[in-house]
Chain A
Amino acid sequence: MALLVLPIVLALLSFLIPQKLVRYFGLAGALSSLVVALGHLSYFNPERYVSIFDPNKLFPLGLSFKMGYDGLSLTMVLLVNAIVTIILLANFAKELAENKTFTALVFLMQFGLLGVFLAQDGLLFYGFWEITLIPIFFILYWFGQQNNNSVLLKFFIYTLLGSLGMLLSFIVLGTNVQSFAYNDLAVAGSFMASKMACWVACGFLLAFAIKIPLFPFHTWQPNTYTTAPMAGTMLLSALMLKMALFGMIKWMIPITYNGFSEIKWLIITLGSIGIVYGAIIAIKQKDIKTLFAYASISHVGLIAAGIVLFTQTSLESAVIQIINHSIVAVGLFFAADIIESRTGTRNIYELGGIAKLAPRFAFWFALMTFVSVSVPFTAGFIGEFLLIKELFMAHWVTGLFASTTLVFGAVYMLRAYQVSMFGTPKMTSFEDLKWNEILVFASLTVAAILIGISPACIMNFVKPSIEHINELMVGSLNFIK
């Protein structure tokens, strides 16, 4: 339980810490939560489910308050804590790091995210899902660009609308069995007529499609990313959208499987279109953050399409790709922010020659670029390979769509890197990386390479929980007691 409570304690504590120490407190707090998560990992057996909170009775409305984790959830928990630490490290030298409210909001965000990944109860999942909206809204509102109100409103209403669909789906499921516990909902789903189950799936889909975002629900994303402060963009792309991908794996598909097959190909089609669509638009973008935002749409389209196939391989490789996407998102948006904060522009045509002025930055940014185009020895290589393979096996046309990411990814990433970093310098100076910035890039790269060399580690780790989800779907409900 400390796992979940710690961030909320940290959030409250950050108001009591003297201003000067806030940045150290933030970093230390994030690190301590990472240590707690690692502690859980050291006792964990991937074959088992670990309960961290279970009052063992039903509360009004059918709430069960069950929380716990299996291999998949623990992977996501570790991802959250690691990425939050890295985000605070990246933010460390900024003025923002000294802000108490900001630090508290990040921890509140972490609390919400952890809750989403730990919840074993539908209403609880929904509740945490909504809680995350509050800190991100205020981070964007208080610390983002000043004139972003309309962008922010759009983002907020759009995601709320999506959540409404999910809430309705949960209510439909929960009222059938008078309980919102995960396995009760699964039972409710398995007894549901396929047409009804399909509607329930659509409700979930609305929430997830907007959050991921799937084509054509993505229009909130590029603007929100560009007007958000760096930490906000990172939280959004590296962690928040993973809630939706996780939700698809754990909640939407297994519970509504009766009716899900009706919309399966719809999602695969949308995902495949997104892969090509995001990449093609990214090719000509001038604003480096917008470019990365569209690239992200392309990448998550592939993950979403892979998840929907719902085979053992596609899910395991989707997890690899989820982690890889977090690494790439943090790395690239960090690079974009370094460029913006030091030159005052995000337009790549106003940049150039940075490699000469800041060789260390050029080196690490190049590494992140290579991680992003999934060269061998990086996490994306094997993840992309397996996902495209699964899509190809499902239908060769989707495979073809998916494989364009190989070519287009190289086109837009190398172009962005080259135009901004090479050529004649258009500025007189560019401060090279500081220690915390190098540390961020280095830890991301090391993670990408480790996963790239031994993806089997993670795949074997999440394998039992994915198998359990599959078993759950076929009706043997003895996994979660």
Chain B
Amino acid sequence: MAADILLLTLISLPLIGAASISLFGKNLPKTIVGTLATSMIAGSFICAVLIFLNLPKNQIVHLFSVVNLDDFKLNASFQIDSLSIWMTLIITGIGSLIHLFSMGYMSHDEGYYKFFGYLNLFIFSMLLLVLGSNYFVLFFGWEGVGMCSYLLIGFHYSDLEKGTANSVAARKAFIMNRIGDVGLLFALFMILGTFGTVEYNEIASKIGELEITSIIPYVAIGAITLCLFLAATGKSAQFPLFTWLPDAMAGPTPVSALIHAATMVTAGIYLVVRSNFLFELAPFTKEVILYIGLATSLVAAFIAMRQSDIKKVLAYSTVSQLGLMFVALGMGAYTVALFHVTTHAFFKALLFLGSGSVIHAMSDEQDIRKMGGLAKKIPTTHLTFLIGTLAISGFPFLSGFYSKDEILAHALMHNPVVYGVLMIAVTLTAIYMFRLYFLVFHGKFRGDSHTESHIHESGSSMTIPLIILAILSVFGGILNLPGIFLHKGAHWFNDYLNANTIGLDLIEQHHLDASQAILLMVVASIIALSVMTWAYVNYAKRGNLAKADEELAGWEKVSNAKLYFDELYNLLFVKPIEFISGSVHHYFDVAVLRNGVFGIAGLVEKTGNVTRKWQSGLLSSYLFWMVLGLVVIIGSYIINK
């Protein structure tokens, strides 16, 4: 089949799923709803694979013009190239697995059909985001995923205990994302102003024709890229807009896995890679990205050290890993960032689903201080979770090892200080992940006996996705093996992306020489292994447990309190705006404007009261005024003459 038909099918399947489930899902049995939703996404995945196997060179599929104005058009059209199809594979591939997982995980939920409706709608929006051939379609999808994210974070709004907290978290996510969206909106306008089009292809070719001598386009591009990056910080939870992501864990765990780990939060990375032709001309912005990514990576890793909620640890870990990807982007290593997006999607989806399986087994308990010794009771979950932990910690020859190593290698070439800081973040990652792993799966069970009696391994619809993701997490690195191992097939992913993505083919490639590369790998392996050993000794052997919140002191307390970012933002933004809102209404709108209008009315009345007195009815008084008037008129006449 031709690629364009496949593409339209793959986009419309999730939409059809979402529409039919929300219309008829209420009256259908749960299994049918779940199967329908899952098979729609699986169908999309198959279409994506078919396109991938026979990938056309930079093809545009034009659907229709949404707006057709004299000076520009906004087209609903789609782009088929390496980048968009690769993102599609991740979204639909991981998406189908998570749909499958949700069929088991959500089986007791009342809002089953709504959940799958939203989930399909999310996939549809996400596909628009990555497949659009211009910034407008991207913006459309960008706003769409924000809305779905809102709906899904607040999915359990009617929960008796956490309902309010859930919906507050959803609102926070939506609003912080909207702040980033303003950046995207501005970038779009400036792109329209500078290039007169929002199509990627056209912008890239216009950049090729830019005058090198003139400085103005560079200023404009600098501003555009900064605005784009602002958008990326919102969606991909980077400093300063990262605090929504940990709160977003209020959503059901499959949502955290799909939206807040594997797909939506990488939209910011996608945006930068997609706009590589702009960022390449904006060295200042790239520096900003590099250091914001670095700071986020470190801060989030530090906070993750002393979180006690299993999902919060993973959430901060996601923020930290996204920071790592932005570091790669800041160094211009677009394919490397995308490689890490891919492997991260594997192992982070795995870890989140694993945590979901743990929470399911623990009767919805999320506090790791109340877990322990689960390894034997839920063996499949344990084994796959271990693989995920190893992969994210950079255990040799697992997927995370390769992708992280590429970023580290670039950092070393770029700036040794950056490399040093990154190594700290990477080490912290290994520490908190193994802490999590050992506290959950080893030692003695610390919860109550009632929960203990209920612990059971999840059903096959939940374990199969775990196993598949575990396999991917182990072997994902094969996609982009470094050159030192073999010559044929090395850097496959690099070559795949660079060959058929706008702009990327023009960027020079750097690779470390073999001896340096091996040295880096050895260093990384040693750190990963020694952290693992230390964590084993500390948490499993000696049985050091996570402390209660009150016992924390010093850095542990700061880490547990999330570096007080929420409090800070509350003080800096929320409170002042509420104050302004209240006082503007009270002291200006009512006191000045409303009373001002009444004041004017009152003035009219008073004038009336005064002038009324002149109309006294006394003839002598009228005569007096008349004579006075005459005198004034005649007098002025004489004087003027």
Q: Is B308 an interface residue (CB 8 A)?
A: no
Q: In the complex the two chains form, what is the Cα distance from A199 to B171 in whole Å? A: 47
Interface-located stretch among B157-165, B516-524, B547-555: B157-165
Q: For residue A277, which residues in chain B have a CB less than 8 angstroms away from its CB?
A: 584
What string of 1s and 0s marks CB contacts (under 8 Å) between A155-173 and chain B?
A: 0011000000000000000
> Do B189 and A392 have beta carbons less than 8 Å apart?
yes
A93 CB → nearest B CB, Å: 25
Given contacts A422-B158, A459-B67, contact A376 B597 (CB under 8 A): no
Q: For residue A20, which residues in chain B have a CB less than 8 angstroms away from its CB?
A: none
Q: For residue A219, which residues in chain B have a CB less than 8 angstroms away from its CB?
A: 589, 593-594, 596-597
> Do A312 and B179 have beta carbons less than 8 Å apart?
no
Tally of contact residues, A, Cβ under 8 A? 50
B240 CB → nearest A CB, Å: 15
A94 CB → nearest B CB, Å: 30
Given contacts A158-B597, A393-B193, A414-B174, contact A423 B164 (CB under 8 A): yes
Q: Which B residues between 63 and 84 are near A, CB-CB below 8 angstroms? A: 65-71, 74
Q: Which residue of A lies closest to B146 (CB)?
A: A375
> Which residue of A220, A284, A375, A376 is within 8 Å of B585 (Cβ)?
A284
Given contacts A376-B140, A423-B164, A456-B65, contact A403 B584 (CB under 8 A): no
> Do A157 and B158 have beta carbons less than 8 Å apart?
no
> Do B164 and A283 have beta carbons less than 8 Å apart?
no
> Which residue of B65, B160, B164, B185 is within 8 Å of A388 (Cβ)?
B185
Q: Which B residues between 568 and 591 are near A, CB-CB below 8 angstroms? A: 577-578, 580-582, 584-585, 589
> Do B163 and A423 have beta carbons less than 8 Å apart?
yes
Q: Which residue of B lies closest to A157 (CB)?
A: B601
> Which residue of A154, A280, A411, A415 is within 8 Å of B597 (Cβ)?
A154
A446 CB → nearest B CB, Å: 13
Q: Is A355 an interface residue (CB 8 A)?
A: yes
A145 CB → nearest B CB, Å: 18
> Do A455 and B581 have beta carbons less than 8 Å apart?
no
> Do B67 and A392 have beta carbons less than 8 Å apart?
no
Q: For residue A422, which residues in chain B have a CB less than 8 angstroms away from its CB?
A: 157-158, 163-164, 167
Q: In the complex the two chains form, what is the Cα distance from A162 to B186 in whole Å? A: 37
> Do B189 and A389 have beta carbons less than 8 Å apart?
yes
Q: Which residue of A lies closest to B22 (CB)?
A: A363
Q: In the complex the two chains form, what is the Cα distance from A400 to B182 in whole Å? A: 9
> Which residue of B143, B167, B601 is within 8 Å of A381 (Cβ)?
B143
Q: In the complex the two chains form, what is the Cα distance from A399 to B578 in whole Å? A: 23
Q: For residue A377, which residues in chain B have a CB less than 8 angstroms away from its CB?
A: 144
> Do B143 and A403 have beta carbons less than 8 Å apart?
no
Q: In the complex the two chains form, what is the Cα distance from A392 to B69 in whole Å? A: 17
Q: In the complex the two chains form, what is the Cα distance from A422 to B158 in whole Å? A: 7
Given contacts A277-B584, A284-B578, A389-B192, contact A376 B125 (CB under 8 A): yes
What string of 1s and 0s marks CB contacts (under 8 Å) between B186-222 and chain A?
A: 1011001100000000000000000000000000000
Q: Is A313 an interface residue (CB 8 A)?
A: yes
Q: For residue A385, which residues in chain B have a CB less than 8 angstroms away from its CB?
A: 139, 185
> Do B582 and A375 have beta carbons less than 8 Å apart?
no
Q: In the complex the two chains form, what is the Cα distance from A327 to B454 in whole Å? A: 51
Q: Which A residues between 102 and 146 are near B, CB-CB below 8 angstroms? A: none
Q: In the complex the two chains form, what is the Cα distance from A283 to B577 in whole Å? A: 9
> Do A356 and B192 have beta carbons less than 8 Å apart?
no
A318 CB → nearest B CB, Å: 13
> Do B157 and A355 have beta carbons less than 8 Å apart?
yes
Given contacts A216-B593, A385-B185, contact A281 B585 (CB under 8 A): yes
Q: In the complex the two chains form, what is the Cα distance from A282 to B577 in whole Å? A: 11
> Do B584 and A410 have beta carbons less than 8 Å apart?
no
Q: Secondary structure of the B side of the interface?
A: helix
Q: For residue A414, which residues in chain B have a CB less than 8 angstroms away from its CB?
A: 150, 171, 174-175
Q: For residue A393, which residues in chain B have a CB less than 8 angstroms away from its CB?
A: 189, 193
Q: Is B491 an interface residue (CB 8 A)?
A: no
Q: Which A residues between 260 and 286 are near B, CB-CB below 8 angstroms? A: 277, 280-285
Q: Which residue of A lies closest to B597 (CB)?
A: A219
Q: Which residue of A lies closest to B223 (CB)?
A: A396
Q: For residue B143, which residues in chain A have a CB less than 8 angstroms away from its CB?
A: 375-376, 381
Q: In the complex the two chains form, what is the Cα distance from A158 to B578 in whole Å? A: 31
Q: For residue B581, which residues in chain A have a CB less than 8 angstroms away from its CB?
A: 280-284
Q: For residue A381, which residues in chain B have a CB less than 8 angstroms away from its CB?
A: 140, 143
Given contacts A219-B589, A375-B144, A403-B185, contact A280 B171 (CB under 8 A): no
> Which residue of A154, A316, A376, A418 is within 8 Å of B144 (Cβ)?
A376
Q: In the complex the two chains form, what is the Cα distance from A407 to B174 in whole Å? A: 9
Given contacts A157-B601, A216-B593, A382-B67, contact A411 B175 (CB under 8 A): yes
Q: Is B178 an interface residue (CB 8 A)?
A: yes
Q: In the complex the two chains form, what is the Cα distance from A10 to B585 in whole Å? A: 43
> Do A410 and B69 have beta carbons less than 8 Å apart?
no
> Do B67 and A284 have beta carbons less than 8 Å apart?
no
Given contacts A280-B580, A283-B581, A376-B143, contact A455 B66 (CB under 8 A): yes
> Which residue of B146, B179, B578 is within 8 Å of A283 (Cβ)?
B578
Q: Is A365 an interface residue (CB 8 A)?
A: no
Give me the interface of A with B, judged by CB distance under 8 Å: 154, 157-158, 216, 218-220, 277, 280-285, 312-313, 316, 355-356, 370, 375-377, 381-382, 385-386, 388-389, 392-393, 399-400, 403-404, 406-407, 410-411, 414-415, 418, 422-424, 454-456, 459-460
CB-based closest 4 A-B pairs: A284-B581, A283-B581, A219-B594, A392-B189
Q: A370-B147, A386-B67, A407-B175 are in contact. List 16 more A-B contacts (CB 8 A).
A: A218-B593, A219-B593, A219-B597, A280-B580, A313-B70, A355-B157, A376-B125, A381-B140, A385-B139, A388-B189, A389-B192, A403-B185, A406-B181, A410-B171, A414-B174, A414-B175
Give me the interface of B with A, judged by CB distance under 8 Å: 65-71, 74, 125, 139-141, 143-144, 146-147, 150, 157-158, 160, 163-164, 167-168, 171, 174-175, 178-179, 181-182, 185-186, 188-189, 192-193, 577-578, 580-582, 584-585, 589, 593-594, 596-598, 601
Pick 18 A–B contacts, CB within 8 A, sort by A.
A154-B597, A154-B601, A157-B601, A283-B578, A284-B581, A313-B70, A376-B143, A376-B147, A381-B143, A386-B67, A399-B186, A404-B182, A407-B175, A414-B175, A418-B167, A418-B168, A456-B68, A459-B67
